[in-house]
Amino acid sequence: MPENRIRVSARGLVRRDDELLVARETPPGGDTPFYYPLGGGVEFGEHSEDALHREFDEELGVSLSNVSHFETYEGVFTSGGRRHHEVWRVYEADIVEPWPYERDEFTG
């Protein structure tokens, strides 16, 4: 991401009972994973809810229903020696297809 830019992303809170669907990632050179809600960047001119639908389709090949705005989160942090600024539009949603709810882990 270019420096001095605010990254806007859309994130989805998809629940299975008391569990939350998250992505697991390990930073380069690190050994401790971190977790975050699925989603991705909002393109210029794109509404964040539309970006959420697009990202879930691109990454998992699934459709969303019952999408509702949950919260907006803003974070400024340093990672890899660079300063970052992110704004997350967070939505609660359900996945239409049943298969993600039937698995404990999968690759997207």
Each residue's pLDDT tens digit, 47-71:
999 999 999 999 999 999 999 999 9
Task: Compute the distance between CA of residue 63 and CA of residue 104 in angstroms, rounded to an integer.
Answer: 19
Burial class (CB in 10 A: 0-12, 13-18, 19+), 44: exposed
pLDDT at residue 2 in the model: 59
Q: Which residues of the chain have pLDDT under 50?
A: none
pLDDT at residue 74 in the model: 97
Q: Indicate yes or no: pTM above 0.85.
A: yes
